[in-house]
């Protein structure tokens, strides 16, 4: 049904809960190359299963980060402009805390590409907005990671925010 959408689907919101793997999410999104707005509610393990690598744009790369017979682009969701991620932590928090470097690499690849002369704007649109929601924490290590992540985002993305990129990080409370 998604592939038959006319006009093409531009916005999509998905709540994966605990039942959707990274590969399943990637397969669903691969049918939506025209998507400009994505809102996902995921468990943090999704970030360890290659999802962010598939969203990463590498200009001039001879090996694309994303390959699919469903898409002509070498990056998943080439027209993505707004991304909202709601991160839900699961058990074994130390094992599943998202890797900040991987997240930053993906973000900078999607917002900084316009400054690179070898970038073809017809291949990937510039990400203009990011929202990260972390609604609750079960323990202090999750909160420490989230606060450090928010600080890292602000530090690394400040130069892009001065150029119009918007970023919001909302942290919730510890759950009982």
Highest mean pLDDT among 95-99, 101-105, 129-133: 129-133
Q: What are the backbone angles phi and psi of residue 171, rounded to the nearest 5°?
A: -105, 135
Please give the CATH topology (third level) of the domain spanning 2-174. Answer: 3.80.10
Per-chain mean pLDDT for the chain = 78
Instruction: Output the pTM of the full model.
Output: 0.81
Residues 6+ apart with CB under 8 A from 136: 88, 89, 172, 173, 174, 175
Residues 6+ apart with CB under 8 A from 9: 2, 32, 34, 35
pLDDT digits (tens, 9 = 90+) for 55-89: 888 876 544 444 444 444 568 999 999 999 888 77
Q: Helix axis angle, 100-111 relative to 140-161, nearest 10°?
A: 20
Q: Where are the alpha helices (DSSP H) in 31-139?
A: 51-55, 93-96, 100-111
Residue 66: per-residue pLDDT: 44
Q: Report residue 112 as tokens.
A: 């900084």
Residue 23: per-residue pLDDT: 82
What is the C-alpha to C-alpha distance for residues 44 and 133, in angstroms, rounded to an integer?
A: 12
How many other C-beta atoms lie within 10 A of the C-beta of residue 122?
8
- pLDDT band of 96, cuts 50, 70, 90: low
* Residue, of 120 and 1, whose pLDDT is higher: 120
115-134 average pLDDT score: 75
**Residue 78 CA from chain centroid, whole number:** 12
Residue of 94, 75, 77, 106 whose CA lies nearest to 141: 94
What is the C-alpha to C-alpha distance for residues 141 and 123, in angstroms, rounded to an integer?
A: 39
Residue 138: per-residue pLDDT: 76
């Amino acid at each position: 049904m998604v592939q038959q959408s006319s006009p093409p689907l531009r916005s999509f919101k998905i709540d994966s809960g605990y039942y959707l793997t990274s590969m399943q999410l990637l397969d669903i999104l691969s049918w939506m190359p025209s998507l400009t707005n994505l809102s996902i509610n995921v468990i943090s393990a999704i970030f360890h299963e290659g999802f962010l690598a598939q969203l990463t744009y590498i200009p001039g790369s001879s090996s694309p980060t994303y390959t699919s017979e469903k898409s002509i682009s070498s990056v998943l969701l080439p027209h993505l402009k707004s991304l909202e991620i709601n991160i839900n932590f699961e058990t074994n928090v130390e094992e599943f805390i998202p890797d900040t470097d991987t997240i930053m690499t993906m973000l900078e690849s999607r917002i900084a590409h316009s400054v690179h002369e070898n970038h073809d704007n017809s291949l990937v649109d510039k990400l203009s907005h990011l929202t990260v929601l972390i609604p609750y924490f079960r323990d202090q290590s999750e909160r420490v990671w989230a606060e450090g992540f928010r600080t890292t985002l602000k530090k690394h993305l400040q130069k892009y925010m001065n150029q119009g990129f918007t970023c919001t990080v909302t942290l919730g409370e510890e759950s009982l």
